[in-house]
Chains A and B, each alone.
Chain A
């Protein structure tokens, strides 16, 4: 919901229902990053109300569009975060699996070596007998 004036749409407050600091703070950050914005802030009118008020003042562009752009930008940022994160985790898992198999090979090789030595010892014992 938008609370603004009919004559000047560059200043407006928006009420986002069922949102809290989670989204509002992130959106405020994104708004502040936009050079068109002169002021951006948010408040929660009352702790028992499930809404936030976001205030946007711009250098002239419609506040509604600027807020929309901020959300759009945040969304694209999230997409990027997700793809980078998924890739990093996948790479890590591959690396871990490789390390695990190497470890296994190493322990197996060690065991085989030990066994060989033990066999050798055993056979030597027999000979000495």
Chain B
């Protein structure tokens, strides 16, 4: 559209300026994500009624409008990713660590693999020769199945349907426990399971009495010989813990059985899961929105069951609340409830206030509860067959092979 106006002369200088002009270069234009969006992106806000902004924003172009790239490139992932080991239990079977700078999608993949896709050895067949205890055969077999076995599953093969159980895929234990008449009740513990490196000792019944007696396994040689790991005299395979209760026997009861352990994964049955649990939670962030002082501070400290807050002495008799242990927060949300969830008897001052103003004092929130979306406190509790750090490394390896498989099928 042209209007008859005096013609404006555009200088060369203006032309080049217009060509190179970028609004983002102006000094007043804020760059980067505005703080409220940044908060939504990186934190879950735990409000009194429900948490909000719980999802992670995955789409790479989500903030293109403000000129911010939301994609995680491998380089900046590598720069930001961090692992802090927090604690390894005395027996080395429980590991707590912080995983910082990773998305929940991937952290969850690790967790799911730990629970369901790492192989272990577990009892799959229980041959019961005699059981006069009050625990029924099938219940006994089920209990046996859940006993964790301290054997490295990497040494063994899967036993597929057509395979014969042999020294490469089966571990055999026998159990013979008896409670003599006239004795008190007896506990059968896992330490009574005896490893049979030569395979099954139970003879299969066959019609033909002349043929060589067959057992339920066909070991070609002892596992002591085929695995250098167990060659030493006292390096035996055993359950992870010696004191797991299998059954209780009354006087005259007897259990005689043989149990065959094979390799499997937790997806098939939970007994093959190498972890008791593997879980993570996001790092809690507890923030005081204003100075909480004196009586208020004491109330706040008292309200928190996890002792997240401390009282700080500011001198001249004044006290102030301080966030001392945010990691302990369980998100019970007591500290963001009205009156910290207390049923308070109104004191004189308050009653007077209500009389004058006609309503209760407004409740002002003191605390903001948040979770850091890319900071995971990860805990792995191994059942004892493998140390938790090995489990985690194996889990990551499995995810890698999954990727490799997809790439291979697509190529």
CA distance A86 to B390 in the complex (A): 9
CB-CB under 8 A for A77 and B106, given A33-B58, A84-B83, A88-B85: yes
CA distance A21 to B389 in the complex (A): 24
CA distance A34 to B313 in the complex (A): 52
Number of interface residues, chain A, beta carbon within 8 A: 44
Q: Who on chain A is nearest to B59 by CB?
A: A32
A33 touches B72 (CB 8 A): yes
CB-CB under 8 A for A92 and B85, given A29-B103, A77-B106, A80-B78: yes
Total cross-chain contacts (CB, 8 A)? 125
CB-CB under 8 A for A92 and B88, given A27-B406, A84-B82: yes
Query: Which of A65-73, A108-116, A119-127 makes up part of the contact surface?
Result: A65-73
Query: Which of B6-14, B140-148, B209-217, B391-399 makes up part of the contact surface?
Result: B391-399
A71 touches B105 (CB 8 A): no
CA distance A104 to B95 in the complex (A): 23
A29 touches B81 (CB 8 A): no
| A-chain residues with CB within 8 Å of residue B61 when the two chains form the complex | 35
CB-CB under 8 A for A35 and B60, given A78-B399, A86-B393: yes
| B-chain residues with CB within 8 Å of residue A92 when the two chains form the complex | 85, 88
| B-chain residues with CB within 8 Å of residue A74 when the two chains form the complex | 106, 399, 403
CA distance A34 to B73 in the complex (A): 9
| B-chain residues with CB within 8 Å of residue A89 when the two chains form the complex | 83, 85, 95, 97, 389
Number of interface residues, chain B, beta carbon within 8 A: 45
Which among A25, A26, A77, A93 is the interface contact of B74 at CB below 8 angstroms? A77
Give, as a whole number of angstroms, the nearest-CB distance from B6 to chain A. 46
Decide if B201 is an interface residue (CB 8 Å cutoff).
Answer: no
CA distance A59 to B204 in the complex (A): 66
4 more contacts with CB within 8 A, not counting A22-B117, A29-B103, are A16-B406, A25-B108, A68-B407, A71-B404
- Which residues of B are at the interface with A, using a C-beta cutoff of 8 A? 58-61, 69, 71-74, 77-78, 81-85, 88, 95, 97, 99, 102-103, 105-106, 108-109, 112-113, 116-117, 389, 392-393, 396-397, 399-400, 402-404, 406-407, 409-411
- Which residues of A are at the interface with B, using a C-beta cutoff of 8 A? 1-2, 14, 16, 19-23, 25-29, 32-35, 37, 64, 67-68, 71-82, 84-89, 91-93, 96
